[in-house]
Amino acid sequence: MRLTGARALITGGSRGIGRATAERFAAEGARVAILYRANDDAAHAALDALPGVPAGPHVLVRADVADPDAAPRAVDEAADVLGGLDVLVNNAGVGGRHRIDEDDYAAWRAAWERILAVNLVGAANVAYAAGRHMLAHGGGRMVFVSSRGAFRGEPDQPAYGASKAGLNALAQSLAQQLAPHGVSVGVVAPGFVETDLAAERLAGPAGDAIRAQSPLGRVARPEDVANAALFFADPASSFATGAILDVNGASYLRS
């Protein structure tokens, strides 16, 4: 198995892409720490779905990555329980509609502060804490879950698009900074994914048009993104550090 013995922390790991990634990594032999914010029922269901590994049990860690004090404590807790940290998947993210032509200034500012606090600043703080563990123990792999919105724009949620563009720059900066220390960094950039967050829109009037954006006639499944994350988490892919892998079914092609 490709991740036998690896110790992996996955933020936002209780649902959607995070849960699928946790299951994929566990099936490949990793011990997994699922970091989640608030939904205990979803987190325990995700934990119970993970296949066991001989090296020891998986674990749940509860924290809000937007809290600059809680984020590093959660990483340290996961590393303590797992006995170290080899892989980080920075997946936790939020979005939300906000437009200049619809919202007042207070709502506009609130959206930017909330979304960037989780998607960019929170991811940076988690990466710092995880990176310190990796530097102390000879290296590791980081995977950032971004979005095609970082490239094509997100007119209904510009803070989301901006946060993901910033996440790409953060990941590629860390790829250069950390490569001499044995830490590789990759980015997965999906389009629409069949998750709870997208379910209402996919089931609504826009659903058919969204699926038609891809010549495959569908949106991504969480497992599609998990497979891409596995590529970067595999030590054999370390020379791909700094790369951004699009997982959008050719719905958006960038040069």
Give per-residue pLDDT as tens, 71-84.
999 999 999 999 99
40 occurs within a structural domain: yes
Determine, yes or no, domain membership for 252.
no
Residues 213-235: what's their mean pLDDT? Answer: 97
- Whether residue 144 is contained in a domain is answered as yes
Active site residues per annotation: 160
**How confident is residue 200, by pLDDT bands cut at 50, 70 and 90?**
confident
Q: Is residue 1 in some structural domain?
A: no
3-state secondary structure of 182: coil
Q: Across the beta sheet with 31-36, what order do the strands follow?
A: 59-62, 31-36, 7-11, 87-90, 140-145, 183-190, 244-247
Looking at residue 81, its pLDDT comes to 95
- Residue positions counted in the chain: 255
Q: 0.85 exceeded by the pTM?
A: yes
pLDDT > 90 in the chain, percent = 93
Confidence of residue 199 (pLDDT cuts 50, 70, 90): confident
Alpha-carbon radius of gyration of the chain: 17
Res. 53 pLDDT band, cuts 50 70 90: low
Q: Determine, yes or no, domain membership for 254.
A: no
Q: Given a cut of 80, is residue 197 above it in pLDDT?
A: no
Residue 147 located in a structural domain: yes
Give the domain range for residue 165: 7-247
Tell me if 237 is assigned to some domain: yes
- The answer to whether residue 94 scores a pLDDT higher than 70 is yes
Q: Which CATH number covers residue 176?
A: 3.40.50.720
Mean pLDDT of 164-173: 98
Q: What is the pLDDT of residue 219?
A: 95
The tally of domains found in the chain comes to 1
Cα dihedral: 169, 175, 177, 183 (round 10): 150
pLDDT recorded at residue 54: 60
State residue 55's pLDDT score: 58
For the chain, the average pLDDT equals 95
Q: Does any domain span residue 2?
A: no
